[in-house]
Amino acid sequence: MHMVVGVIERDGGTLYCTALFFGADGALLAKHRKLMPTAMERLIWGMGDGSTLPVLETPVGRIGAVICWENYMPLLRTAMYAQGIEIYCAPTVDDRDMWAASMRHIAVEGRCFVLSSAQYLTRADCPSDYEPFQGNDPGTVLIRGGSSIIGPLGEELVSSVYGREAVLAADLDMSEIPRAKFDFDAVGHYARPDIFELRVDRTSRSLVG
């Protein structure tokens, strides 16, 4: 089993929203720090840099992760496609209907499998001193979920699950990816490198030398 899990990472005095990649032997393989904290997240989290944008070659496929609203950054998605991502993990707190549409778009655009993990959270799951604006009833749903698994032509292998905790599973036929790229490959025969160019700075950036 390989695992991608979201954590809050501390480095010095700064917190980062981070996805960790673990191999079948339990070893930490890599991490991805969210490049751009969203809205008020900027009061809490630092910004990642280009040194943590991995797509990992594993026995189950080429795995990468793009966190929450990073998925709305076209050039970041392109950087993932350019590395040959096959299993595109998209952890999120976004439970809106539009998120499901975005995940299907990414699967079709990248011709990859998209595994979107969306939180399901009730008031009872939170500390007693937390006062959500939705109310303090323990059964109040704060985040309604929406996890899904999408195939490389945008088909829902597992439809979005709302309103409950769930474990989603699907068999992924990796041979579907090259078949899906016969007529469209965003970073291959559809790329037009004579017109467009993507440059990714993978330098680890420290604010203090």
Distance CA 112, CA 87 (A): 6
In the chain, where the domains are located: 3-180
> Checking DSSP bridges between strand 14-22 and strand 28-33, what pairing results, if any?
antiparallel
Contact 188, 194 (CB under 8 A): no
Measured over the CA atoms of residue 83, residue 182, residue 190 and residue 157, the dihedral's sign is: negative
Distance CA 52, CA 181 (A): 27
Distance CA 63, CA 71 (A): 15
Distance CA 42, CA 122 (A): 24
Tens-of-pLDDT digits for all 209 residues of the chain?
999 999 999 998 999 999 999 999 999 999 999 999 999 999 999 999 999 999 999 999 999 999 999 999 999 999 999 999 999 999 999 999 999 999 999 999 999 999 999 999 999 999 999 989 998 999 999 999 999 999 999 999 999 999 999 999 999 999 999 999 999 999 999 999 999 999 999 999 876 65
pLDDT at 205: 83
pLDDT at 180: 97
Q: What does DSSP assign to residue 45?
A: B
Plot region of 70 (φ>0 → left; ψ -120 to 50 → alpha; else → beta): alpha
Residue found by looking up tokens 């899904």 in the block: 148
pLDDT at 32: 98
Q: Which long-range contacts (CB under 8 A, 24 or more apart) does 22-30 make?
A: 23/58, 24/59, 29/54, 29/56, 29/58, 30/54, 30/56
Given CATH 2.40.30.200, say whether it is the number of domain 3-180: no
pLDDT at 207: 67
Contact 115, 85 (CB under 8 A): no
